[in-house]
């Protein structure tokens, strides 16, 4: 049902803006609760088999839990004349924007990530014109241009899997919610038209578990790496943990510290704020599933 072109109902949102909780970000890259379909096909399918289904139009859902153990990526596609600036934005802000692969201009393959056709291998895409979300589609072949450059960025699924494997709880998963995300007062380093505040995701831990989580995530710099802050939210400009800017609030128990990771929503916001004539991203939660193993991203 997502196999369609830009839908008029999205264009109508142009008036109200799109970067608000409950609209564009209500299923983010950790929005695994939104579509249980993604789970049912999880453990038996290989990344290649899953992409084949997606390519054939037989699967258009959330990829959380699909092909466990394999890296899933945030996708940004934009015209070549902004590619260098965007790449430099990623290079200057590696924690929110960890680059895993960059395509050649006009080339829809990403050979380091598997046998990929980026025009059809993501379950759902979002199309932005002048920074506004104008549609959600499951195939961008008709929109593809000879100057499009694809960026694949690391996603929190990988480090959440590493945390779970170590026996740590991931509160948003336990509660079956999207991870809570907050706009901070931390400025990203700008590059060309790309700039903005850093967005963080939050997972609460008791102090000893927070220390362990820092160790685990330090091994994965290409999926946001170690947290960037813990403790007092106000120090990074977050006034109220119960009011996330995106995603859902989660329970913070007495004795727990909120721990904050740089978040992949940061480059999406920077992209939208740049108001490019045309840009395409994955639809939150509907990631590119790659042949890379999470463990291959570990620096140790």
Q: Which residues contact 279 (CB under 8 A, 6 or more apart)?
A: 76, 77, 78, 79, 127, 128, 271
Q: Residue for token digits 């209500």?
A: 26
Q: Name the DSSP class of 113.
A: G
- What is the nearest approach in angstroms of its own copies to the Cβ of residue 235? 6
Q: Which stretch, 2-10, 131-139, 223-231, 286-294, contacts its own copies (CB under 8 A)?
A: 223-231
- What is the nearest approach in angstroms of its own copies to the Cβ of residue 264? 19
Exactly one of 36, 232, 243, 296 binds its own copies (CB under 8 A); that residue is 232
Q: Residue for token digits 């943990």?
A: 241
Exactly one of 4, 141, 174, 235 binds its own copies (CB under 8 A); that residue is 235
Neighbours of 273 (CB within 10 A): 15
167 sits near its own copies (criterion: CB under 8 A): no
Say how far apart CA 18 and CA 131 lie, in whole Å.
9
Chain centroid to CA 164: 19
Exactly one of 17, 211, 240, 275 binds its own copies (CB under 8 A); that residue is 211
Q: Which stretch, 7-15, 39-47, 211-219, 289-297, contacts its own copies (CB under 8 A)?
A: 211-219
Q: Which stretch, 61-69, 118-126, 148-156, 210-218, contacts its own copies (CB under 8 A)?
A: 210-218
Q: Which stretch, 10-18, 112-120, 177-185, 224-232, contacts its own copies (CB under 8 A)?
A: 224-232
58 or 208: CB nearest its own copies: 208
The number of residues making up the chain comes to 300
What the block records as the tokens of 21 is: 């909780």
Exactly one of 38, 135, 227, 264 binds its own copies (CB under 8 A); that residue is 227
What is the SS3 assignment for 9? helix
185 sits near its own copies (criterion: CB under 8 A): no
What the block records as the tokens of 117 is: 């056709």
What the block records as the tokens of 235 is: 């120090």
Exactly one of 214, 241, 249, 278 binds its own copies (CB under 8 A); that residue is 214
287 sits near its own copies (criterion: CB under 8 A): no
Residue (of 227, 164, 191, 3) closest to 82 by Cα position: 191
255 sits near its own copies (criterion: CB under 8 A): yes
208 sits near its own copies (criterion: CB under 8 A): yes
Residue (of 172, 154, 153, 113) closest to 291 by Cα position: 113
24 sits near its own copies (criterion: CB under 8 A): no
């Amino acid at each position: 049902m997502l196999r369609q072109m830009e839908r008029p109902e999205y264009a109508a949102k142009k008036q109200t803006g799109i970067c608000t909780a409950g609209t564009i970000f209500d299923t983010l890259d950790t929005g695994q609760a939104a579509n249980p379909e993604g789970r049912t096909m999880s453990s038996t399918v290989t990344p290649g088999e899953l992409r084949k289904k997606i390519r054939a139009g037989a699967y258009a859902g959330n990829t959380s839990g699909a092909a466990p153990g394999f890296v899933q990526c945030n996708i940004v596609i934009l015209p070549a004349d902004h590619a260098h600036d965007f790449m430099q934005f990623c290079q200057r802000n590696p924690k929110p924007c960890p680059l895993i692969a960059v395509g050649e201009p006009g080339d829809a393959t990403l050979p380091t990530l598997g046998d990929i056709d980026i025009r059809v291998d993501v379950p759902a895409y979002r199309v932005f014109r002048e920074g506004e979300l104008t549609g959600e589609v499951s195939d961008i072949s008709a929109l593809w241009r000879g100057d499009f450059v694809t960026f694949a960025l690391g996603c929190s699924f990988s480090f959440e899997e590493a945390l779970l494997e170590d026996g740590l709880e991931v509160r948003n998963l336990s509660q079956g919610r999207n991870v809570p995300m907050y706009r901070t007062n931390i400025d990203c380093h700008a590059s060309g038209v790309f700039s903005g505040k850093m967005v963080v995701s939050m997972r609460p831990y008791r102090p000893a578990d927070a220390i362990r989580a820092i160790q685990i995530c330090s091994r994965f710099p290409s999926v946001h790496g170690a947290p960037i802050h813990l403790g007092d939210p106000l120090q990074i400009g977050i006034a109220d943990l119960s009011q996330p800017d995106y995603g859902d609030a989660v329970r913070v128990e007495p004795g727990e510290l909120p721990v904050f990771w740089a978040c992949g929503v940061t480059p999406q916001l920077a992209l939208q704020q740049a108001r490019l004539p045309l840009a395409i991203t994955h639809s939150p939660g509907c990631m590119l599933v790659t042949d890379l193993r999470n463990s291959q991203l570990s620096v140790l």
